[in-house]
Amino acid sequence: MFSTYLFDLDGTISDSFLGVSRGMEYAVETLGFPKPAQKTLRDCMGPPLFDLFAKNLGLPTEQAKRAIALYFEYYRKKGIFEQTLMAGAEDTVRELKSRGRTVCLATCKLQENSEIILKNAGIDGYFDVIVGSTLDGKISQKAQVISLVLEKTGKSPSECLMIGDRNYDVLGAHECGVKCAGVLCGYGSREEFQRCGADYVLDTLLDVLTLDLRSNTPE
Residue ranges of domains in the chain: 4-15+84-215, 17-81
**pLDDT, tens digit, for every residue of 146-195?**
999 999 999 999 999 999 999 999 999 999 999 999 999 999 999 999 99
**pLDDT, tens digit, for every residue of 194-207?**
999 999 999 999 99
What would you report as the CA-atom Rg of the chain, rounded to the nearest whole angstrom? Answer: 17
Q: Return d(Cα 117, Cα 145) in angstroms, integer.
A: 18
CATH of domain 17-81: 1.10.150.240
Q: Is 8 a catalytic residue?
A: yes
**Which is the catalytic residue, given 8, 10, 165, 169?**
8
Residues 76-79: contacts with CB under 8 Å, at least 24 apart: 76/113, 78/19, 78/22, 79/18, 79/19, 79/20, 79/22, 79/23
Global pTM reads: 0.89
CATH class name, domain 4-15+84-215: alpha beta
